[in-house]
Amino acid sequence: MKVLVAVKRVIDAYVKVRVKSDGSGVETQNVKMSMNPFCEIAVEEAVRLKEAGVATEIVAVSCGPQQSQETIRTALAMGADRGILVQSDEALEPLGIAKLLKAVVDKEQPELVLLGKQAVDNDFGQTGQMLSALLGWSQATYASKIEKADGELTVTREIDGGLETVKVKLPAIVTADLRLNEPRYASLPNIMKAKKKPIDALTPDELGVDVAPRLSVLKVAEPPARQAGVKVGSVAELVDKLKNEAKVI
């Protein structure tokens, strides 16, 4: 089974983001960038499927600026076989990315596409579902466990009330949730090997996809800051404050 895995370059999840003073966005200059954590989980799952003899080839795809190549290299160092960069300097939205990925899927014909459930920059959480819709495939979002049987996958999903299990026919789209696996760190030999793995470059024009944004960002602002409160000296004082000052119990 050929597996395609989509990866996104985002501001590192542990960096405290700063809103630009002109309100046009967040500061990205001299900020550490990394692979979106949920994409890492998706890559790890693809590699585990290959190690288990279920996946035959893993193609890592990223849509974004030239530097997204680094993100693809990370996926290659984790164990993906080759990469595809769909280069665009425009800010891409989930619908545009889903259309680009569909065009790549049409060329590559994978049986499974793995994605993260959301990217931690824009927190949209739409790309996987949109890609699935455009392809007319089945979808299993928020996966915490994936098992393959004849022509279908059994996927355990993390839902608001607990866990849900669904069967989806292949070809399928699966989006990774936190507890699907723990991504590995790439070893130095694998990082070196990854430098020799091929990355094809494409553009939205070459794929015939219009990625013009549908949403215009009018303003990006800091959320109202929360003032630090007071330290209390004892449990009795805490309960007193909650009862008589905050009046919440």
Partner 1 sequence: MSILVYAEHDNASLKPVTLNVVAAAKAIAEKAGGEIHVLVAGSGCGAAAEEAAKIEGVAKVLKADSAEYEAKLAENVAPLLVKLAEGYDYLLAPTTTGGRNVLPRAAALLDVQGISDISGVEDADTFVRPIYAGNALATVQSSDAKKLITVRGTAFDAVAAEGGSATVEEVGAEGDAGLSSFVGQELTKSERPELTSARVIVSGGRGMQSGENFAMLERIADKLGAAVGASRAAVDAGFVPNDYQVGQTGKVVAPELYIAVGISGAIQHLAGMKDSKVIVAINKDEEAPMFQVADYGLVADLFQAVPELEAELDKG
Q: Which of residues 78-107 bind partner 1 (CB under 8 A)?
A: 93-95, 98
- Span of 8-16, 46-54, 82-90, 107-115 interacting with partner 1 by CB under 8 A: 8-16
| Residues of span 151-170 touching partner 1 by CB under 8 A | 154, 157-169
Using the Cα atoms of residue 25, residue 122, residue 119 and residue 17 in order, give the sign of their dihedral. positive
What are the E-state strand segments in 70-111? 82-87
Q: Dihedral of CA 135/138/144/148: which sign?
A: negative
User: Within positions 184 to 213, which residues make up the interface with partner 1, using CB under 8 A?
Assistant: 213
Of 87 and 124, nearer to partner 1 (C-beta) is 124
Under rule CB under 8 A, residue 149 binds partner 1: no
24 contributes a contact to partner 1 by CB under 8 A: no
- 36-75 mask for partner 1 (x: CB under 8 A)? --x-------------------------------------
Axis crossing angle, helix 94-108 with helix 127-135, rounded to the nearest 10: 50
Contact criterion met (CB below 8 Å) for 141 and 132: no
* Binding of partner 1 by 140 (CB under 8 A): yes
Q: Which of 36, 71, 141, 181 binds partner 1 (CB under 8 A)?
A: 141
Q: What is the total count of residues that contact partner 1 (CB under 8 A)? A: 78
- Residue 128 one-letter amino acid: G
What is the distance, to the nearest Å, from the Cα of residue 102 to the centroid of all Cα atoms in its chain? 16
- Between CA 128 and CA 132, with CA 131 as vertex, the angle to 5 degrees is 85
Q: Among 82, 122, 191, 193, which residue sits at the site for partner 1 (rule: CB under 8 A)?
A: 122
